[in-house]
């Protein structure tokens, strides 16, 4: 299921969202012009490689010196392919603008990076010997989804159900779409642990980011919005 749009209007220009999308797209396009060997090294250097931090000697032997955890952040702006990039940009375009609207530009930027940091940290904790770089904005976006889940649970989200590539579009409440998304992450993350199957997606980063966003978002709401939300709940 791929989201197409939501029903919540945005009252301000989402400059930070546009900036994040611009950086991700620019970095991805830049890497396409690099030789494959350089692309590979770039990904290993700036992607979050868990074993690099669990076993610093391993990283040093492969020319990856200790970088004080810098890749926990830089990995958020790298992507492994066109579909990976486009899907993440779609999620930012649909869901992140409303969260930036509620938090303001500066606080949203801090919230986004913090959720991303917690997400990549969670992946490292649960899979410390992983020798494949973790890249992508998905962990930080998961934090945005965690905030959206509680701020706009009854917003309408139009999704495309790719059945035989037919244009089948369904409108569902955000709480249903995001709830189903969380169930998939939990199932995949726990299955990789129980059955020991190698995972090509950072499921634990998604879960860590979502939980971080769900718990931390009230701390980043502007005073005006927080008061308005309280008054609305009281009136109800």
Verdict on whether the full-model pTM lies above 0.85: yes
Residues in Cβ contact with 207 at an 8 Å cutoff, skipping those fewer than 6 apart: 122, 142, 182, 185, 186, 189
Question: Rounded to whole angstroms, how far apart are CA atoms 140 and 210?
Answer: 8
Distance CA 126, CA 231 (A): 41
Q: What is the CATH number of the domain that holds 155?
A: 1.20.1540.10
Mean pLDDT confidence for 174-199: 82
Q: What is the mean pLDDT of the chain?
A: 89
Residue 101 has pLDDT above 90, yes or no: yes
Average pLDDT over residues 21-33: 97
Question: What's the domain range around 65?
Answer: 2-235
Taking residues 105-120, report their average pLDDT. 97
Q: What is the pLDDT of residue 125?
A: 93
Helix or strand (DSSP H, E) at 172: strand 169-173
In the chain, count H helices and then E strands: 12, 3
For 60, the token pair is 């040093």
The total domain count for the chain is 1
């Amino acid at each position: 299921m791929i989201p197409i749009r939501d029903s919540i209007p945005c009252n301000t220009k989402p400059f930070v969202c546009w900036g994040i999308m611009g950086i991700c797209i620019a970095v991805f396009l830049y890497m396409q012009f690099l030789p494959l060997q350089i692309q590979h090294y770039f990904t290993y250097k700036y992607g979050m490689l868990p074993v690099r931090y669990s076993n610093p000697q391993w990283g040093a032997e492969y020319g990856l010196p200790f970088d004080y955890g810098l890749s926990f952040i830089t990995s958020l702006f790298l992507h492994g392919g066109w579909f990976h990039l486009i899907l993440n940009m779609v999620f930012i375009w649909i869901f992140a603008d409303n969260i930036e609207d509620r938090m303001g530009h500066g606080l949203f930027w801090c919230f986004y990076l913090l959720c991303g940091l917690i997400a990549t940290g969670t992946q490292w904790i649960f899979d410390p010997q992983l020798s494949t770089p973790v890249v992508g904005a998905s962990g930080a976006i998961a934090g945005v989804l965690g905030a959206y889940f509680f701020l706009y649970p009854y917003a309408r989200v139009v999704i495309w159900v790719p059945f035989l590539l037919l244009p089948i579009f369904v409108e569902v409440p955000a709480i249903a779409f995001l709830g189903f998304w969380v169930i998939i992450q939990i199932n995949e993350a726990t299955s990789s642990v129980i059955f020991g199957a190698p995972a090509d997606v950072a499921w634990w980063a998604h879960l860590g980011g979502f939980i971080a966003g769900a718990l931390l978002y009230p701390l980043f709401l502007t005073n005006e919005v927080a008061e308005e939300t309280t008054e609305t709940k009281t009136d109800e």
